[in-house]
């Protein structure tokens, strides 16, 4: 997997102070996508074990009280990303107690493959669906268009 950006302290992508990883790779080609540079899975930088370790370390750093991890892109559930993202979310739940995971994907929850669903099983909040320019609304919180759905597994 490759990634475009990693923000160890982020207050924009999800609630509270967070670590945010923007991965490379997306097949959805949404009209009006702001992140077209992330579409190619070979764009950006190589995501390494050291990077994964850094994210775990940052989440557990008590000097900055982070609420959790946000995963966006690109698409974290792009098939070529699923193995790496699965390893990351599994480690976060095992090694970072109390931290939540938010994940944005262009896929619909109802159409996920078993491998993608295994990732989502570790996620607290999933925002699903393609960005639809015709339903875009800047007043929406955590999503760009009203067709996208915020699934709160943490509230169930």
User: Which residue, 28 or 67, is less far from ligand SF4 as judged by CB?
Assistant: 28
User: Which residue, 39 or 122, is less far from ligand SF4 as judged by CB?
Assistant: 39
3-state DSSP call for residue 5? strand
User: Which residue, 33 or 51, is less far from ligand SF4 as judged by CB?
Assistant: 33
Smallest gap from Cβ 77 to ligand SF4, in A, equals 10
Buried (b) or exposed (e) across 31-59, using 16+ Cβ within 10 A? eebebeebbebeebeebeeebbeebbebb
Can you tell me the distance from the alpha carbon of 137 to that of 5, in angstroms, rounded to the nearest whole number? 25
Smallest gap from Cβ 100 to ligand SF4, in A, equals 21
Q: Which residues bind ligand SF4 (CB under 6 A)?
A: 26, 28-30, 33, 35, 38, 73-75, 106, 130-131
Report CA Rg, the chain: 14
């Amino acid at each position: 997997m490759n990634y475009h950006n990693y923000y160890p302290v982020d207050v924009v992508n999800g609630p509270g102070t967070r670590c945010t990883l923007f991965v490379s790779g997306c097949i959805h080609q949404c009209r009006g996508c702001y992140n077209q540079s992330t579409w190619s899975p070979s764009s950006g930088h190589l995501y390494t074990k050291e990077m994964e370790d850094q994210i775990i370390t940052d989440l557990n750093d008590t000097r900055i009280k982070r609420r959790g991890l946000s995963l966006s892109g690109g698409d974290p559930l792009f098939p070529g990303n699923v193995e790496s993202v699965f390893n990351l979310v599994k480690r976060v739940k095992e090694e970072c107690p109390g931290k939540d995971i938010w994940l944005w994907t262009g896929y619909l929850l109802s159409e996920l493959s078993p491998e993608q669903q295994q990732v989502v099983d570790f996620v607290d909040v999933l925002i699903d669906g393609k960005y639809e320019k015709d339903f875009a609304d800047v007043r929406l919180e955590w999503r760009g268009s009203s067709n996208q759905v915020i699934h709160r597994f943490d509230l169930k």
